[in-house]
Amino acid sequence: MSLTASCEKTRSVLIPTGILPFVNFALYNFRMDIRWFSDEARDCSAEWRATLVSADAWQQIGQAGAAGGEAEGFFVQCGSVEGYAKDSGGAFRAAHEKIASDLAFDLGLPVPPLVLWEDGAARRAVSRLPFTAAFKWDHARQAPSAVTRMMPALTQAASAMVAFDSWVENIDRINGGNMIVSLALPQGFGCAYIDYAFSLSHGWGCAPANPTSIRRGPYPEEVIVDGAILAETVFAIEKLPSTTIEEIVRRIPDAFMEEQRRENIVASLVTRRDQLRSSLGL
C-alpha cells in the first residue's frame, strides 16, 4: 500500500514489512511532544518515518520556486496528500533532510515527516505539509498580536530546537523562511522547523565533523531559551541509542549518498551527541 493511500484510508500506524521499527521518544523520558501538526500529518508520521523512498506518483502543483528559497522547491500532490518537494542538487541535500526528519520524529521534535523520491533521474525529498494556513516566520512576525499569542508555545519549541540544530550542525537555521507557523489548528498554535539541506555533511564532507561547539539558535532570535527544556532535549538526544542513529543513516540509498559519507555522519553524530551537553554549557 502506498503512503498516500494508507494515509487516506486509515489513521492507524502502519509499518511496512522489512523496515526496522521506529524508536518512541517516550522511552527516553522526553515528556514533551511538540510536534504541533495537523491530525492528518501526525497520524501519518510513523509510516513516513518507516518509509525510505516513496513509491507514490507525486504530481507537481504550481511553479518551481514560487514559494521562494534557493532550492526552488515546488508543491506536490498525490490523491488528497500534499507535500513540498526539493531537489538534491547533486549535493546530498535530500539525504540530509531525511536523516534530520527521522531523528526529529524519534525525539518528538517539530520537523515534518519526509520521504525520499526518485523522480526519473532526479533525486528529491518530499516533506509532508504539517498544517494548512501556514505562514513563514518572516511574514507571521509582522503581526505583533499573533506573535504574542504564539510566544509561550514557541519558546518551548525554539528552546528544544537549539539542542537539535546544534547537534546536527544546521547552519541555515537563522532564516525567516525556514520556520513556518499556523494559528488555524484545533489546539491553536502549530510550528514546523524546515530545511535541513545545509546540515550534517554539508559542512563536514567525508571528514570527521568539527567538535560540537557552535550553538545554533534560538530561532526566532527574540526567544529567551528555557534552560529546563533545552536540558531535557539534550538528555533525550544523549539517550538515543547509537543503533538508532546507525539505522537512520545507513539505510539511505547509494543513489542519494555514498557509503563513506553515511559512515562519517554516523560517527560524527555519535561523537557530537556526547559533546552536546558541555558545548551548550549545561
| 198: in domain | yes
Contact predicate 36/190, CB 8 Å:
yes
| 20: in domain | no
d(CA 154, CA 36): 10
Give the pairing type, strands 179-185 and 188-193: antiparallel
Q: Which three cell numbers stand for residue 217?
A: 539558535
Q: Does 268 share its domain with 206? A: yes
pLDDT given for residue 21 in this prediction: 40
Q: Does 166 share its domain with 95? A: no
Q: Does 116 share its domain with 158? A: no
Last residue of a domain, one of 107, 128, 149: 128
Last residue of a domain, one of 128, 160, 189: 128
Other Cβ atoms within 10 Å of 253 Cβ, number: 14
Q: Does 260 share its domain with 180? A: yes
d(CA 171, CA 230): 19
Using left for φ > 0, alpha for ψ between -120 and 50, and beta otherwise, residue 150 falls in: alpha
Of the candidates 80, 125, 110, which has an alpha carbon nearest to the alpha carbon of residue 219?
Answer: 110
Q: Does 101 share its domain with 162? A: no
Q: Does 39 share its domain with 121? A: yes
Q: Does 180 share its domain with 205? A: yes
DSSP 84: E
| 105: in domain | yes
pLDDT given for residue 15 in this prediction: 29
Of the candidates 198, 190, 152, which has an alpha carbon nearest to the alpha carbon of residue 173?
Answer: 198
d(CA 249, CA 44): 21
d(CA 187, CA 166): 29
Average pLDDT, consecutive stretches of 10 residues, N- to C-terminus, the chain (282 residues): 53 32 46 84 94 93 67 84 86 92 96 93 91 88 87 93 95 80 87 91 73 83 94 95 96 94 94 94 91
| 24: in domain | no
3-class secondary structure, 191: strand
Range of the domain at 115: 34-128
pLDDT given for residue 71 in this prediction: 61
pLDDT given for residue 19 in this prediction: 36
Q: Does 232 share its domain with 162? A: yes
Other Cβ atoms within 10 Å of 6 Cβ, number: 18
Other Cβ atoms within 10 Å of 106 Cβ, number: 24
Q: Does 89 share its domain with 214? A: no
Q: Is the peptide bond before 110 cis (omega within 30 degrees of 0)?
A: no
Contact predicate 172/121, CB 8 Å:
no
Contact predicate 189/179, CB 8 Å:
no
Q: Does 81 share its domain with 141? A: no
Q: Does 171 share its domain with 82? A: no
pLDDT given for residue 30 in this prediction: 52
Q: How many domains does the chain contain in total?
A: 2
- Please name the residue ranges forming H helices in the chain: 3-9, 39-50, 93-107, 137-140, 144-167, 201-204, 227-239, 242-250, 259-279
Q: Does 44 share its domain with 92? A: yes
pLDDT given for residue 178 in this prediction: 85
